[in-house]
Amino acid sequence: KTASDLIGPLNGEVIEINPNIQKSPELINDKPYENWICKISSQDDMENKELFLDASRYDELTR
């Protein structure tokens, strides 16, 4: 296990970590669209929310 900064398009605080991922980190690779890593609380106004990608948009960009 390791710890590192979470880099994203908004400022915030991690308020919850998925306990299933903590127990079985391989779930991120095995079932990436069925799992979440963490929940974040942010006071940002979400002006950059278009920078977030859903699964289909991510797939388009990584082909």
Residue 2 included in any domain: no
**pLDDT bracket for residue 27 (50, 70, 90):** very high
Structurally, how many domains does the chain consist of? 1
Q: Which two tokens stand for residue 20?
A: 């299933």
Residue 26 falls inside a structural domain: yes
Return the number of other C-beta atoms located less than 10 Å from residue 7's C-beta: 5
Q: Is the pLDDT of residue 28 over 70?
A: yes
Q: 55: which 2 tokens?
A: 């699964």
Q: What is the mean pLDDT of residues 2-25?
A: 86
User: How much is the pLDDT for 15?
Assistant: 94
> How confident is the model at residue 16, as a pLDDT?
95
Q: Is residue 34 part of a domain?
A: yes
Q: Is residue 52 part of a domain?
A: no
Cα dihedral across residues 12, 18, 23, 27: positive or negative: negative
- Percentage of the chain modeled with pLDDT above 70: 95
Find the mean pLDDT for residues 53-58. 88
Instruction: Work out the average pLDDT over 45-59.
Output: 81
